[in-house]
Structure 1
Amino acid sequence: MKEFNIKNLVRKNIRELQPYLSFRDLNEFKNPVFLDANESAFGELNRYPDSTQKKLKQKLSGLKGISADQIAVGNGSDELIDLIIKAFCEPKEDSILMMNPSFAMYGFYALVNGNKVQLLDLDENFEISKAEFLKTTNENQPKVFFLCSPNNPTGNSVEDIEFYIRNFNGIVVVDEAYIEFSDKKSCINMLGKYPNLIVLQTFSKAWGMAGARVGAAYSSAEIIALINTIKAPYNVNSLSLNRILEAVDQKDTVEQNIKNTLAEMSWLNKELRCLKGVKKIYPSDANFFLVEFEEVEKAYAKLLENEILTSKRSPKIPGCIRINAGSRKENIRLIETLKTIA
Structure 2
Amino acid sequence: MIDLQKLIRPNIREFISFDYTPKEKQERGTTHIMLDANENPYNKPYNRYPSENQTTLKEELAKLKGVKSKEIFLNNGSTEAIDMCYRIFCQPKIDNVVSIDPTCELYKRYAILNEVEYRPVRLNEDFQLKASELLKACDKQTKLIWLCSPNTPSGNILDVEEVEKVLNEFTGIVVIDEAYADFSHSRNFRERVSEFPNMIVLNTFSKAWANAAIRLGAVYAQEAIINIFNAVKAPYNISQLTQVQGLEALKHRYDIEDWNKILLLERKRMINAFSTLACCKKVYPSNANFFLAQMKDAQKVYNYLCEKSIKVKNCSNLSLCNNCLRITIGSKAENAEILGILRYYKPTI
**Whole-Å separation in 2 of the counterparts to 1:333 and 1:9:** 50
Distance 2:191 2:255 in 1: 24
Does the CA-based 8 Å contact 1:149-1:157 persist in structure 2?
yes
Matching residue of 2:8: 10
Q: Which residues in structure 2 correspond to 1:166-205 (within 5 Å)? A: 166-205=168-207
Offset at 1:284?
0.6
Q: Residue 278 of structure 2 aligns to a residue in which SS?
A: coil
Structure 2 counterpart of 1:336, one-letter code: G
**Residue correspondence of structure 1 range 282-301 to structure 2 within 5 A:** 282-301=284-303
Equivalent-residue separation in structure 1 for 2:264 and 2:317 (angstroms): 28
Local SS of the residue matching 1:36: coil
Name the residue aligned to 2:330. Answer: 326
SS at match of 1:97: strand
Unaligned runs of 5+ in 1: none
Post-superposition Cα deviations, 1:210-260, rounded to whole Å, max 9, x if no partner, equal: 001000001111100001111101111111110010111111111111101
Q: CA RMSD in A?
A: 1.7
Moved more, 320-329 or 33-42: 33-42
Alignment of 1:66-81 (within 5 A): 66-81=67-82
Cα 1:82/1:177, change in 2 over 3 Å: same
Change (3 A) 1:214 1:22: farther
The aligned residue for residue 155 of structure 1 is 155
Aligned equivalents of 1:246, 1:284: Cα separation in 2: 29
Matches within 5 A, 1:59-208: 59-137=60-138, 139=139, 141-159=141-159, 160=161, 161-208=163-210
Unaligned runs of 5+ in 2: none
CA distance in 2, matches of 1:14, 1:332: 52
Cα distance in 1, alignment partners of residues 86 and 299 from structure 2? 36
Tell me the TM-score normalised to structure 1 length: 0.95
**Over residues 33-92 of structure 1, what are the superposed CA-to-partner deviations in whole Å (9 max), with x where a residue is unaligned?**
222211122225211111111111111221122221111000001101111111111111
Q: State the SS of the aligned residue for 1:261.
A: helix
Deviation at 1:141, TM superposition (A): 4.7
Please give the secondary structure, in 1, of the residue aligned with 2:15.
coil
Distance in 2 of aligned mates of 1:42 and 1:142: 50
Superposed CA offset, 1:142-186 (max 9, x none): 210110000011101110221221121100011000000011111
SS at 1:91 equivalent: coil
Distance 1:29 1:37 in 2: 13
User: Is contact 2:184-2:288 (8 Å) kept?
Assistant: yes
Distance 1:132 1:272 in 2: 34
> Whole-Å Cα distance in 2 between the matches of residues 104 and 201 of structure 1?
16
* Displacement after TM superposition at 1:27 (Å): 4.7
- Of 325-334 and 56-65, the range deviating more from structure 2: 56-65
Given that residues 98 and 134 in structure 2 are in contact (C-alpha distance below 8 angstroms), is that contact kept between their aligned partners in structure 1? no
From the superposition, tell whether residues 140 and 155 of structure 1 become closer, same or farther in structure 2 (CA, over 3 Å): farther
Q: Does the CA-based 8 Å contact 1:288-1:324 persist in structure 2?
A: yes
Identity of aligned residues (%): 37
Residue of 211, 214, 219 corresponding to 2:213? 211
Deviation at 1:28? 6.0
Aligned equivalents of 1:27, 1:242: Cα separation in 2: 16
User: Any residues of structure 2 matched to 1:252-331 within 5 Å, and which?
Assistant: 252-316=254-318, 317-331=321-335
Amino acid at match of 1:234: Y
| Structure 1 residue 341, shift from structure 2 partner | 1.6
Q: Secondary structure at the match of 1:201?
A: strand
The separation in 1 between residues aligned to 2:192 and 2:306, in whole angstroms, is: 43
Match of 2:203, SS state, is: strand
SS of 1:206's partner is: coil
Q: 1:140 to 1:36 in 2, by over 3 A?
A: closer
CA distance in 2, matches of 1:29, 1:123: 53
CA deviation string 1:254-308 (max 9, x = no partner): 1111101101101111211121111010111100011100111111011000010
Determine if contact 2:183/2:287 at 8 Å carries over to the other structure: yes
Q: Which runs of 4+ in 1 moved over 3 A?
A: 18-23, 27-31
> Aligned pair count?
338
